[in-house]
Amino acid sequence: MFSFFRKKSPSEAVSTAPERSGWLSKLQAGLRKTGRNFTTVFSGTRIDDDLYEALEEALLMADAGVAATTHLLDDLKQRVKAHKTTEPAAVKGLLIEAMVDLLQPLQGSLRIGEQQPTVIMVAGVNGAGKTTSIGKLTRHLASGGASVLLAAADTFRAAAREQLGVWADRNTVDIVSQDGGDPASVSFDAVTAGKARGRDVVLIDTAGRLPTQAHLMEELRKIKRVITKADGSAPHEVLLVIDGNTGQNALAQVKAFDDAIGLTGLIVTKLDGTAKGGVICAIARERPIPIYFIGVGEQVDDLETFNALEFAQALLN
C-alpha cells in the first residue's frame, strides 16, 4: 500500500525535517492573530471567571463555534481541577491538551494502493482551492511512487481545464478532458482510462458550487453515480476542499456536502493567510470527518498532513 512517504529512505525522511518546520512556521504566521488573542487571555494573575469568559470569547472569535467552545471550556475546567493548577500560564498548556484530544480523531490519511486505481473525487465551493490542491496532491503522490491520472470534470469553464492541464504538465502526468463534455462523462472516461492504463490513482477535479445550488449538487451526485458505473467500488475517496478563511461557513459546507455525497476526507486550504483556524474544532465536534491535508500556500509543496498537536500549538501559541 502506498502511503505518502512510503518510498523515502530513513535518510530522506530526516532530510524532510527542515521542510516540515518551514511549513509549521507558515501555519503559525497564518494563525498568529488568533494566537495573540489567546496569549492575552492567559496573561492575568488569577484563574477566575473573567479568565474563562475571556477564553470563551477568544474561542468564539477564532470560529470554534458554540458547541466546541462549550466542550473545550468544560474539559479545561476539569483538567484545571485535576491538576490543582493555580497559574494562568499553565492553563494554556492544559487547553492545548484538551484541544489535541478534540482534534485527534481528525487525523487520518488517504488510503492509496488497496484498489487499482484508487479513484478520488474532489468537490467544494468556488475558489476553495480544489484544482490547486489536486496539483499539490499529484506531486505528493507521484513522489511517493504512485502513477496518477487527472480528470478535468470541471467542464463549466474552458479555463478550468487549462488550469488543471498546467498542473498535469508540471507533474508530467496524463489528463483526461473533453471539449464541452459533461462532467459525469469525463469522470466515466477517466476511471475507465485509469483502469485500462493501470494507474494507481485517478484524481477527479469538479467545478465549484454552493450547497444552495440544488441542481449543481444533483450534478455532483450524478458524477458520483457514474463513477460507480465505471468501477463498482469507486469512488474510494470523496474529498471536500474548504477554504480556512471562510470561518463558521466551512462547517456548514462540510455538513451540506457530506449529506449530498458522503465525504471521506477534507482538505483545508489557505491556512497561511488570515485564517482564524478555530473552525477545525467546530468540525471535530459537529461533523468529524478526517482532515487528510492542509494547504499553507500556492506552491506545489505547500500541502501537509494534518497533525492535531502541531495544529493546536500553532493556534494557541
Ligand X SMILES: Nc1nc2c(ncn2[C@@H]2O[C@H](COP(=O)(O)OP(=O)(O)OP(=O)(O)O)[C@@H](O)[C@H]2O)c(=O)[nH]1
Which one of 152, 160, 260, 266 is in contact with ligand X (CB under 6 A)?
160
Which one of 76, 281, 296, 316 is in contact with ligand X (CB under 6 A)?
296
What residues contact 234, with CB distance under 8 A and at least 6 apart? 115, 119, 191, 227, 228
Q: How many residues bind Mg ion (CB under 5 A)?
A: 2
Residue closest to Mg ion (Cβ): 131
Is residue 126 part of the contact set for ligand X (CB under 6 A)?
yes
Joined together, the cell numbers standing for residue 98 give 484538551
Is residue 273 part of the contact set for ligand X (CB under 6 A)?
yes
DSSP state at residue 299: S
Query: Nearest-CA neighbor of 35 among 12, 6, 3, 58?
Result: 58
Q: Which is nearer to Mg ion, 44 or 181 (CB)?
A: 181
**Which part of the chain contacts ligand X (CB under 6 A), choosing from 73-81, 142-150, 280-288, 294-302?**
294-302
Q: CA torsion angle for 269, 275, 28, 110 (degrees, to 10)? A: -30
Q: Which is nearer to ligand X, 207 or 312 (CB)?
A: 207
Residue closest to ligand X (Cβ): 208
By a kind-dependent CB cut-off of 5 to 8 A, residue 129 interacts, out of Mg ion, ligand X, none, with ligand X
Joined together, the cell numbers standing for residue 197 give 492504463
By a kind-dependent CB cut-off of 5 to 8 A, residue 35 interacts, out of ligand X, Mg ion, none, with none
Q: Which is nearer to Mg ion, 69 or 131 (CB)?
A: 131
Which one of 59, 80, 128, 151 is in contact with ligand X (CB under 6 A)?
128
Q: Which is nearer to Mg ion, 64 or 128 (CB)?
A: 128
CA-based radius of gyration for the chain: 21
Is residue 298 part of the contact set for ligand X (CB under 6 A)?
yes
What residues contact 248, with CB distance under 8 A and at least 6 apart? 63, 65, 279, 282
Instruction: Give me the residues paired with residue 176 across strands.
Output: 151
Query: Nearest-CA neighbor of 265 among 125, 115, 105, 142?
Result: 105
Helix/strand/coil for 76: helix
CA within 13 Å, CB half, 316: 24
Which one of 234, 297, 311, 313 is in contact with ligand X (CB under 6 A)?
297
Which 182-211 positions form the footprint of ligand X (CB under 6 A)? 207-208
How far, in Å, CA of 169 to CA of 48, rounded? 58
**Which part of the chain contacts ligand X (CB under 6 A), choosing from 31-39, 214-222, 230-238, 293-301?**
293-301
Report the nearest approach of ligand X to the CB of residue 52 (Å): 34
Which 268-297 positions form the footprint of Mg ion (CB under 5 A)? none
How many degrees, rounded to 5, is the angle at CA 92 between CA 31 and CA 312? 40
Is residue 235 part of the contact set for ligand X (CB under 6 A)?
no
Which one of 28, 69, 131, 246 is in contact with Mg ion (CB under 5 A)?
131
Interhelix angle 279-286/88-103, rounded to 10 degrees, is: 50
* Contact yes or no for 69/252 (Cβ under 8 A): no
Is residue 129 part of the contact set for ligand X (CB under 6 A)?
yes
Q: How many residues bind ligand X (CB under 6 A)?
A: 22
How far, in Å, CA of 226 to CA of 69, rounded? 41
- Name the site residues for ligand X (rule: CB under 6 A): 124, 126-132, 154, 160, 207-208, 241, 269-270, 272-273, 295-298, 302
- Name the site residues for Mg ion (rule: CB under 5 A): 130-131
